[in-house]
Amino acid sequence: MAPPRASAPAATPPPAALDGPDSALRAAQAEPLHPPLSGRQKTLGILGAAALVAYPFVFNTPFPQHVMIMIFLYGMMAQSWNIMAGYCGQISLGHAMFFGIGAYSSAFLFVTYQISPWLGMLVGIVIAMAAAAVIGLPTFRLRGHYFAIATLVIGEIVQIVVQRWEFIGAATGIWLPIIRENQLVNFQFNDSKIPYYFIALGFLIVACLAVRHMERSRLGFYFRAIREEPEAARSLGVNITLYKSLAFMLSAAFMAMAGTFYAQYVLVVDPEVVFPLTLSILVLLMAVMGGVGTLWGPLIGAAVLIPLSETTRILLGGTGGAVDLIIYGALIVVICLFKPEGLIGLVRQWLPAPPAEREADHGDS
Amino acid sequence: MLKVSDLEVSYGDFQVIWGVSLEVRPGEVVSLMGPNGCGKSTIFNTISGLLKPKAGTIELDGRRIDRLPSHEIVRLGLAHVLERRRVFPYLSVRQNLWLGGYNPQARVHREETLEQVFGQFPRLRERQDQLAHSLSGGEQQMLALGRGLMSRPRLLMIDEPFLGLAPAVAKEMMGVIAGINAAGVSVLFIEQNVQVALSMSNRGYILESGRLVLTGEPDELLNSSEVKRIFLGG
C-alpha cells in the first residue's frame, strides 16, 4: 500500500517557509512519526551492516553460520507475526500453517514440475495470502482469545490434513533431490552455508523494510487504531475487516517466504517439521520477548532465543530438547515481571535516543 | 438531514428499540435524553452503522444508510463520537486526530481541518505530541470531538459529551459544541441531565425503555409533567 500522499499541492509545505511555529508544525505533520536518523544511529547502522557482512567469513565453520541463519529466519517469522499481532492486535496461534504452505508449495512444484523454488516461493506467497484472506473472513468476527483459539484450531486442522494427503506425500512429506549445478536457480547450495546466510539476511531485511514502511504509512495507523480501539476505529470510518485481512495477508506472505527458505535449506519438508504448533508458539515468544509492536523487538527476541535453543540442543543433546523451552518459560516470566514491554525496553535504556527523538518516538510504544 | 423512521433494534432475540423515529434538520442541535439503559447509545450505534437495525429506515439527506457499513457512512458526512471517548491511548494526540481524517473525502483537506480543530481546541495543539492516555478526561473528550471533526462531518453525533467531566469543564464543552454548531455542523447528542441538555438544544427527544415518549422544544419539555415522572419517578 502506498504511503499517504499530500493530496493537494497546497498541502505540501514550501521548503523556504520553514520558520515560524506554523510551518514547523506543518513540517512535523509531513513526517509525523520518525525524524531523520541521527549521526550516532547512522554510525551504529554502518558498523552493524559491516559486522553482518563480515560474520560468515570470520566465523567460517558451519555452526556459527547456522545459528545466524536461524536467527535471520526466525527473526523474519517473528517480524511477520508482529505485523499481525503487534501492530494490528490480532493474536494468531496458527502462523506455522503459512510457513508450511510456503515450504510445501515450492518443494512440490520443484519435485513435480522442476519449477525453480524462487518461482515456487512466489506461488507459495500467493497461496498463503489467499489462505489468510479466506481464514480471516469468518474468524475476524471473533475477538481476542476467540480469534486466537480459532487460528490455533485451523493450524492443527491444516497439519492433520497434510499428514493424510497422499498427493503431497502425506506423513512422509517431500524430499528434495540434491542437485549440484545451477545452484542459484535451484536455490540449493551444497558447498557452503554462505549463500544461505546472505539470502536469509536479504529476506529478513525485506521483511523489516516492509514493516518500517508500514509503520509510517496510513496502513500502520489503521493497524494500531484497530489494535487499540476497534469500535472507535470503525466509527471513524476504518473498514476494520479489510485492514485486519491486509495485516493477516502481509504476515502470511512473509511466513511463506520463510517456509520456502527453510525447505531449500534442509531439503526435506514434512508435516511434523513445517506445520507444528510449537513453531507458531516459538515465533510468538520471540516477538513477545523482544517487544511486540516495535520494529526491532522481534529481531532482538530471535537473537536471544535462537542461540539459546541451538546451544542447549548441542550441550544437552537433541532429545533433551525441552530444556530450551524451560529456559524460555523462565525468561518469559522474568520479562513479564520486570520489562513487560519486552527486551527492547532494556535496549532503549542502554541506547537512549536524544530527547527530540524520544519525543517523536511515542507511536512505537 | 437525518431522518430515522420506525427504528427497531435487537441484540439477538432481545429487542431494545421499539419504533423510534427522530429527525435532525440542518443547523440544529438536538438532544436525545433518557435514563440509563433505555437505548440511547444503541440508537446512535445503529445510526452510525456499528449495529444493524432489525426494521425501520435511516436516511441521511434522503439517502438510505441503514444497510451501509460504518466506514461508508462516515464518508457521507456523519461522525460519531463514542461514549467514554475511546481515544487511541498509545497514539499521540496528533496521530489520533489524523486517524479521524483518513476517509478519502476528508484526507484532501486534512491539513486545513487540523488547523481548524487546533483553532477550536488550543489545548490539543499544545499537547499534540503527548500520548492520548496521558490527557485529562476533559482533554480526552476534546480529542474525541476533534477526531470526529477531522472527518469534516455535516452531522456530528456525540454520545454523552459531559460524562465524567467536572462542572467547569462541562461548561467549557458546552461552549465548544455551540461553536461547532455555529460553524455549520448539525449536532445530535446524548445527555442524561435534562436541564443541561435542553439549555443547549433546539429540540429534544426523550426515550424510555426503548420507546420515544416525548419530543419538543426545550420550554415544552421542561414544563412537562411527564418528564418529571420519567426522571424523578413522580
DSSP B160-172: -TTTT--HHHHHH
More confident residue, A19 or A238: A238
- The Cα A98–Cα A257 span in angstroms is 9
Across the interface, do B107 and A4 touch by the CB < 8 Å criterion? Answer: yes
A138 pLDDT band, cuts 50/70/90, is: very high
Mean of all residue pLDDT scores within chain A: 85
Using alpha carbons, select from A327, A222, A292, A278 the residue that is nearest to residue A78: A292
Shortest Cα distance, chain B CAs vs residue A332, angstroms: 23
Is this complex's ipTM strictly greater than 0.85? no
Residue with cell 558447498: A191
Mean of all residue pLDDT scores within chain B: 93
Q: Which of B69, B91, B147 sits opposite A236 (nearest CB)?
A: B147
Using alpha carbons, select from A99, A63, A19 the residue that is nearest to residue A310: A63
Strands, E assignment, chain A: 174-175, 268-269
Q: Which of B94, B128, B151 sits opposite A236 (nearest CB)?
A: B151
Within 8 A of B151 by CB-CB distance, chain A residues are: 236-237
Q: Pull the grid cell for residue B107.
A: 484526507
pLDDT tens digits for range B164-177: 899 999 999 999 99
Q: Pull the grid cell for residue B58.
A: 435511516
Q: Are the C-beta atoms of A285 and A301 separated by less than 8 Å?
A: yes
Give the pLDDT mean for A224-253.
94
Q: Are the C-beta atoms of B215 and B32 separated by less than 8 Å?
A: no
The SS3 of residue B69 is: coil
Across the interface, do B74 and A231 touch by the CB < 8 Å criterion? Answer: no
Within 8 A of A239 by CB-CB distance, chain B residues are: 69, 71
Residue with cell 466506514: B71
Query: How far out from the chain centre does Cα B54 lie?
Result: 22
Task: Look at A42-46, B60-64, B150-154 and tell me which has the smallest mean pLDDT.
Answer: A42-46
pLDDT tens digits for range B199-213: 999 999 999 999 999
Q: Are the C-beta atoms of A267 and A188 separated by less than 8 Å?
A: yes
Strands, E assignment, chain B: 2-11, 14-24, 29-33, 55-60, 63-64, 78-81, 155-159, 186-191, 203-208, 211-216
pLDDT > 70: what percent of chain A? 84
Within 8 A of A6 by CB-CB distance, chain B residues are: 111
Across the interface, do A225 and B86 touch by the CB < 8 Å criterion? Answer: no
Cα torsion for A106, A109, A115, A116, to the nearest 10°? 10
Across the interface, do A218 and B148 touch by the CB < 8 Å criterion? Answer: no
Residue spans of the domains in chain A: they are 62-276
Across the interface, do B102 and A6 touch by the CB < 8 Å criterion? Answer: no
Within 8 A of A229 by CB-CB distance, chain B residues are: 86-89
User: What is the pLDDT, as a whole number, of residue A200?
Assistant: 97
User: What is the pLDDT, as a whole number, of residue A110?
Assistant: 96
Within 8 A of B70 by CB-CB distance, chain A residues are: 234-235, 237
Counts of helices then strands in chain A (DSSP H, E):
17, 2
Across the interface, do B102 and A236 touch by the CB < 8 Å criterion? Answer: yes
User: What is the pLDDT, as a whole number, of residue B199?
Assistant: 93
Q: Which of B82, B110, B151 sits opposite A237 (nearest CB)?
A: B151
Within 8 A of A234 by CB-CB distance, chain B residues are: 49-50, 70-71
pLDDT > 70: what percent of chain B? 100
Across the interface, do A26 and B91 touch by the CB < 8 Å criterion? Answer: no
Find which of A224, A236, A242, A364 to mutate to test the B interface (most B CBs within 10 Å of its CB): A236
Q: Are the C-beta atoms of B58 and B126 separated by less than 8 Å?
A: no
**Phi, psi dihedral angles at B33 (to 5 degrees):** -120, 165
- The Cα B197–Cα B199 span in angstroms is 6
A16 pLDDT band, cuts 50/70/90, is: very low
Q: Pull the grid cell for residue B159.
A: 454520545
- The Cα B19–Cα A261 span in angstroms is 60
Given a cut of 80, is residue A132 above it in pLDDT? yes
Given a cut of 70, is residue A204 above it in pLDDT? yes
Given a cut of 70, is residue A3 above it in pLDDT? no
Within 8 A of A357 by CB-CB distance, chain B residues are: none
B103 pLDDT band, cuts 50/70/90, is: confident
Q: Are the C-beta atoms of B117 and B149 separated by less than 8 Å?
A: yes
Given a cut of 80, is residue B184 above it in pLDDT? yes
